[in-house]
């Protein structure tokens, strides 16, 4: 095992190299990228219908209604498309709406149901797909005007969803090539002057507004959990490798996770079951009283006061649900910071390697994206290797943390969704608590746990050791069931 002094030395080297990726401001340049990808922020946003804070069980409940013949697949799809009509022009969740083919799929699903065939737990359920994941015969643009391919076949994860009966509504917006946490071309469903988070921003918007009942995205450093936290939905990142990750516009071969978003932990668990062949959904409703929960002392360092308050309230509830809740010393601030540095370096270097083989004109990339890849091209191989060694050290250390606890709890994001024009100031703050778990491949879930006084969602992040997703489902579903928001309005026109 590498000793602490060497680990710190590796961290400093990784941080020094990663510093090449940060420090410059790019938000001002977004508006020059073209309105197809970055619509101008409106000074006086149109008043949109409020979205649900926590839409418990929509996917699972809708599936039961379908099988009971209380609603048709076509009706579910039309409700989703009605929500697209209401929200998408201002929030920009979809890069490609597949209205025609989705109606054909829904009709087929209805015919199969009428004939007694149920493909799986998501038969007839409207699902969206992040636009770095290939859908057969549909353009993949990865949020960039420089890239366009039309794949001949689905990514394996998409094929699994189809086989289980999913109706694909469309391709959702992403930060260009998934290389960021803001998705600046899209807007937060709770406040259109703010970012939705990224890079799976469109996926989060589509679920939060009822444009679909689940979405398939990716998480390389924080790209499922941050938009989930900022937009008020559930983002479930499984253990690295549990869900097939082929058929992607690759960001980082050693860190890319394919993962779902949904309205509840139970719904997300159903999607993981479809994608990974697991039985996680059976743990919804399980007794969580035997679980030991660790709360890192440094998990709220630098957090917004309202995030700290919501997290404290969430812990009070968790203490009633779990067997034991106690503070733990790790991960500490140095762990979070070194993981952030190593994660940046590794993911950017691997992205640069992938992009070097695409033969694209980088002059057409966003300035932010281009700067990151150009800087990665200059990183020494020794720094990349040192960052990988640091990664191994962190993984070993975190495995030991879980000798004494079953689940860790902390805020997903230290801050609520920033204003679009201020997002550049929060690029590394947003993902501070999330990067570590993608870097070392541990499963993690973000669950809504409150709202700010201004009506912005706050996320609770639960983490488990590899292959122990069942503990996240048991505790997360128990928390969700017991959680009673102070203002639990439900005004979405697409409520099922």
- From the list 448, 460, 443, the residue with the least C-alpha distance to 486 is 448
Q: Is residue 105 part of a domain?
A: yes
Q: Is residue 489 part of a domain?
A: no
Total number of domains constituting the chain: 1
Q: Is residue 35 part of a domain?
A: yes
What is the number of other CB atoms lying within 10 angstroms of the CB of residue 150? 11
Q: Is residue 108 part of a domain?
A: yes
228 near 197, Cβ under 8 Å?
yes
Residue 232: CATH number of its domain = 3.90.1300.10
Find the domain containing 190 and state its range: 4-482
- From the list 392, 409, 419, 494, the residue with the least C-alpha distance to 449 is 409
Q: Is residue 488 part of a domain?
A: no
Q: Is residue 487 part of a domain?
A: no
Q: Is residue 495 part of a domain?
A: no
The reported pTM is: 0.91
Q: Is residue 371 part of a domain?
A: yes
pLDDT tens digit at each of 496 positions of the chain: 444 555 555 555 555 554 554 433 333 333 333 333 344 343 345 678 877 644 445 899 999 999 999 999 999 999 999 999 999 999 999 999 999 999 999 999 999 999 999 999 999 999 999 999 999 999 999 999 999 999 999 999 999 999 999 999 999 999 999 999 999 999 999 999 999 999 999 999 999 999 999 999 999 999 999 999 999 999 999 999 999 999 999 999 999 999 999 999 999 999 999 999 999 999 999 999 999 999 999 999 999 999 999 999 999 999 999 999 999 999 999 999 999 999 999 999 999 999 999 999 999 999 999 999 999 999 999 999 999 999 999 999 999 999 999 999 999 999 999 999 999 899 889 999 999 999 999 999 999 999 999 999 999 999 999 999 999 999 999 999 999 775 333 333 233 3
Catalytic residues: 130, 199, 223
247 near 154, Cβ under 8 Å?
yes
357 near 230, Cβ under 8 Å?
no
Query: Which H or E element spans position 219?
Result: strand 214-219
């Amino acid at each position: 095992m590498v000793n602490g002094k060497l680990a710190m030395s590796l961290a400093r080297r990784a941080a020094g190299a990663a510093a090449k990726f940060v420090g410059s401001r790019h938000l001002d340049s977004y508006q020059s990228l073209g309105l197809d990808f970055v619509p101008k922020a409106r000074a006086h946003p149109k008043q949109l219908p409020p979205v649900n804070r926590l839409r418990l069980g929509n996917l699972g409940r809708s599936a039961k209604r379908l099988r009971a013949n209380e609603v048709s697949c076509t009706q579910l799809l039309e409700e989703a498309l009605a929500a697209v009509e209401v929200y998408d022009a201002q929030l920009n969740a979809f890069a490609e709406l597949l209205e025609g083919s989705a109606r054909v799929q829904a009709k087929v699903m209805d015919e199969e149901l009428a004939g007694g065939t149920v493909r799986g737990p998501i038969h007839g359920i409207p699902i969206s797909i992040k636009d770095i994941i290939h859908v057969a015969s549909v353009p993949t643009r990865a949020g960039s005007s420089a890239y366009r391919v039309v794949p001949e076949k689905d990514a394996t994860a998409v094929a699994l969803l189809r086989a289980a009966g999913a109706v694909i509504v469309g391709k959702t917006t992403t930060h260009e090539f998934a290389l960021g946490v803001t998705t600046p071309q899209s807007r937060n469903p709770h406040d259109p002057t703010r970012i939705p988070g990224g890079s799976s921003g469109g996926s989060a918007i589509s679920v939060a507004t009822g444009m679909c009942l689940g979405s398939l995205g990716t998480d390389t450093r924080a790209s499922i959990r941050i938009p989930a936290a900022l937009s008020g939905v559930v983002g479930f990142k499984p253990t690295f490798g549990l869900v097939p990750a082929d058929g992607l516009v690759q960001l980082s071969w050693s860190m890319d996770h394919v993962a779902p978003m949904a309205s509840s932990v139970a719904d997300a668990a159903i999607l993981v079951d479809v994608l990974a062949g697991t039985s996680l959904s059976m743990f919804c409703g399980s007794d969580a009283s035997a679980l030991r929960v660790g709360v890192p002392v440094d998990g709220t360092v630098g957090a917004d006061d309202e995030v700290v308050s919501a997290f404290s309230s969430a812990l009070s509830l968790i203490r009633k649900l779990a067997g034991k809740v106690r503070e733990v010393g790790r991960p500490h601030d140095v762990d979070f910071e070194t993981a952030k540095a190593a994660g940046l370096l590794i993911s950017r270097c691997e992205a640069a390697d992938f992009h070097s083989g695409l033969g694209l004109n980088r002059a057409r990339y966003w300035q932010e994206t281009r700067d990151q890849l150009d800087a990665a091209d200059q990183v020494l191989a020794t720094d990349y290797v040192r960052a990988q060694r640091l990664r191994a050290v962190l993984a070993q250390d975190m495995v030991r943390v879980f000798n004494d606890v079953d689940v860790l709890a902390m805020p997903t994001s230290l801050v609520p969704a920033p204003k679009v024009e201020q997002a550049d100031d929060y690029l590394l703050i947003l993902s501070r608590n999330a990067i570590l778990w993608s870097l070392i491949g541990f499963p993690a879930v973000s669950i809504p746990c409150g709202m700010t006084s201004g009506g912005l969602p706050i996320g609770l992040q639960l983490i488990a050791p590899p292959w122990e997703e069942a503990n996240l489902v048991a505790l997360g579903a128990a928390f969700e069931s017991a959680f009673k928001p102070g203002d639990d309005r439900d005004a979405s026109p697409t409520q099922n």
